[in-house]
């Protein structure tokens, strides 16, 4: 798949731009704070329906304007797709081939994307929520059913938390929890099982990438971290352990008014040579691990959907040493449409295929 064209109007610091891209490599060059990352953000938004930098859509609108508009033309499975986002205030309209989507989440899966930026080091050393977001987006891009499960689970979780507070504050009978417990276990077990299956594949791919980057010196293992104390990935065991854990933690949940067990609290452990890299790894090891996981993402999506996703590299070369830069370039060239932002072109001799580059200055784009 590749994004052939992008149109922006009143997005961040851009007024009007209409860009045509190379299907392999696109370099976006400019000084800091000129709009390079904004361009990648627009592409990411067309793929996921949300920004990777903010949860507030109004921040995406150009100063002194009241709305923004994005349009992208995508070639996927030898078919053309036109993706559009029109946002004004809190209202966001999304269309695919001129057909309005009912939910923002319905956009996910058309334009598959992997993004890697300096902030993605938080995938390794950040909070569990960062790793949950990673695995949720990864699976959602290849499975519409998983997206549906997440949406329904969040609805049930919200209702259950509200009931826990009512039981605590208003002495509402506890037996009312049974209905929500059953739904939570049913939906949550399916989510956990799908995560375990995906993580098993990602762990194998990440292990291969880590060994390749480190010349076989480091072995990376991804493990699903849950309070359920699972011994297998069978749906029956997951449901049984989930149900038992809800009963075990019920008193604490009522006391605090929140659900303490479930996929919304789970994490992913990252082990390099059996050492928890988040707690005890060096910065270099953490960067290598983040890179290995990102490269594994590409191969995972290729295996799941039959095509590579787009790869967005936002100023990552400033964060990687020469060895890691070379490993990254060797893995992406000639097979993945890639967008790279940078302040210079010192390493462009490393590319062995034709590319396009775009100069960015104050939200204005000049094709080089």
Which percentage of the chain shows pLDDT scores above 70? Answer: 98
Handedness of CA 193, 290, 218, 280 (dihedral sign): negative
pLDDT at 188 > cutoff 80: yes
Handedness of CA 165, 168, 171, 174 (dihedral sign): positive
pLDDT one-digit tens code per residue, 136-161: 999 999 998 999 999 999 999 999 99
Q: Are residues 278 and 311 in the same domain?
A: no
How far is 299 from 335, CA to CA, in rounded Å? 11
Q: Are residues 251 and 161 in the same domain?
A: yes
Split at pLDDT 50, 70, 90, the class of 120 is: confident
Q: Which of 255, 280, 305 is the last residue of a domain?
A: 305
Does 118 map to a domain? no
pLDDT of residue 355: 83
pLDDT of residue 353: 63
pLDDT one-digit tens code per residue, 329-359: 777 777 899 999 988 766 555 565 678 989 9
Q: Are residues 138 and 252 in the same domain?
A: yes
Q: What angle do CA 14, 16, 17 make, to 5 degrees?
A: 90
pLDDT at 367 > cutoff 90: no
pLDDT one-digit tens code per residue, 230-247: 999 999 999 999 999 999
Q: Are residues 278 and 316 in the same domain?
A: no
Structural domains of the chain, count:
2
Residue-wise DSSP of 201-216: HHHHHHHHHHHHHTTT
pLDDT of residue 317: 77
What CATH number should be reported for the domain holding residue 157?
1.20.1050.90
- The overall average pLDDT reported for the chain is 92
pLDDT one-digit tens code per residue, 10-55: 999 999 999 999 998 899 999 999 999 999 999 999 999 999 888 8
How far is 107 from 127, CA to CA, in rounded Å? 27
pLDDT one-digit tens code per residue, 77-102: 889 999 999 999 888 999 999 999 99
Q: Are residues 270 and 348 in the same domain?
A: no
pLDDT one-digit tens code per residue, 310-335: 999 998 877 777 777 777 777 777 78
Angstrom distances, CA of residue 174 to CA of 78, 89, 163, 182, 286: 55, 41, 9, 14, 45
Q: Which of 305, 331, 351 is the last residue of a domain?
A: 305
175-180 average pLDDT score:
93
pLDDT of residue 350: 57
pLDDT of residue 322: 77
Q: Are residues 222 and 269 in the same domain?
A: yes
Q: Which of 262, 282, 305 is the last residue of a domain?
A: 305
pLDDT of residue 73: 98
Does 120 map to a domain? no
Q: What is the pTM for the complete model shown?
A: 0.89
Spatial CA neighbour of 158 closest among 241, 266, 267, 264:
264
Residues spanned by the domain of 364: 1-112+307-368
Q: Are residues 301 and 320 in the same domain?
A: no
Q: Are residues 160 and 284 in the same domain?
A: yes
Q: Which residues pair with 100 in a beta bridge?
A: 95
Does 119 map to a domain? no
> Which residues neighbour 38 within 8 Å (Cβ) at sequence distance 6 or greater?
11, 12, 13, 14, 363
What CATH number should be reported for the domain holding residue 368?
3.40.50.300
Which percentage of the chain shows pLDDT scores above 90? Answer: 76
pLDDT at 220 > cutoff 60: yes
Does 117 map to a domain? no
Written as six digits, the tokens of 231 are: 């011994």
How far is 156 from 226, CA to CA, in rounded Å? 20
How far is 84 from 87, CA to CA, in rounded Å? 10
Spatial CA neighbour of 193 closest among 226, 165, 144, 233:
233
268-291 average pLDDT score:
91
pLDDT of residue 45: 96
pLDDT of residue 351: 61
211-229 average pLDDT score:
93
pLDDT of residue 326: 78
pLDDT of residue 174: 92
Does 362 map to a domain? yes
Q: Are residues 188 and 266 in the same domain?
A: yes
How far is 363 from 13, CA to CA, in rounded Å? 5
């Amino acid at each position: 798949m590749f994004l052939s064209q992008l149109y922006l109007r009143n997005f961040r610091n851009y007024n009007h731009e209409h860009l045509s891209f190379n299907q392999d490599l696109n370099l976006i060059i400019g000084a800091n704070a000129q709009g390079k990352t904004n361009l990648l953000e627009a592409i990411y938004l067309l793929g996921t329906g949300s920004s990777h930098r903010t949860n507030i859509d109004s921040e995406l609108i150009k100063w002194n304007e009241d709305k923004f508009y994005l349009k992208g033309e995508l070639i996927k499975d030898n078919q053309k797709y036109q993706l559009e986002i029109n946002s004004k205030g809190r209202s966001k309209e999304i269309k695919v081939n001129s057909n309005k989507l009912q939910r923002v989440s319905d956009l996910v899966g058309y334009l598959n994307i992997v993004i890697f930026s300096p902030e993605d080091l938080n995938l390794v050393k950040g909070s569990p929520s960062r790793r949950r977001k990673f695995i949720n987006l990864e699976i959602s891009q290849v499975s519409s059913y998983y997206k549906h499960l997440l949406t329904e689970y969040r609805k049930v979780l919200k209702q259950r938390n509200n009931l826990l507070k009512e039981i605590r504050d208003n002495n509402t009978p506890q037996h009312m929890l049974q209905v929500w417990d059953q739904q939570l276990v049913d939906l949550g077990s399916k989510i956990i099982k799908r995560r375990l299956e995906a993580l098993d594949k990602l762990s194998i791919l990440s292990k291969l990438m880590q060994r390749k980057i480190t010349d076989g010196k480091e072995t990376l293992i991804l493990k699903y971290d849950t309070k359920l104390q699972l011994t297998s990935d069978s749906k029956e065991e997951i449901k049984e352990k989930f149900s038992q854990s809800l009963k075990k933690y019920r008193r604490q949940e009522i006391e605090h008014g929140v659900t303490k067990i479930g996929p919304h609290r789970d994490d992913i452990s990252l082990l390099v040579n059996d050492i928890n890299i988040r707690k005890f790894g060096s910065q270099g090891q953490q960067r290598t691990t983040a890179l290995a996981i990102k490269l594994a993402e590409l191969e995972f999506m290729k295996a799941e959907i039959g095509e590579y996703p787009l790869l967005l590299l936002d100023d990552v070369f400033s964060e990687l040493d020469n060895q890691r830069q070379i490993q990254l370039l060797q893995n992406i060239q000639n097979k993945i449409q890639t967008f790279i932002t940078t302040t210079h072109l010192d390493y462009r001799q490393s590319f062995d295929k034709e590319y396009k580059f775009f100069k960015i200055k104050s939200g204005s784009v000049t094709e080089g």
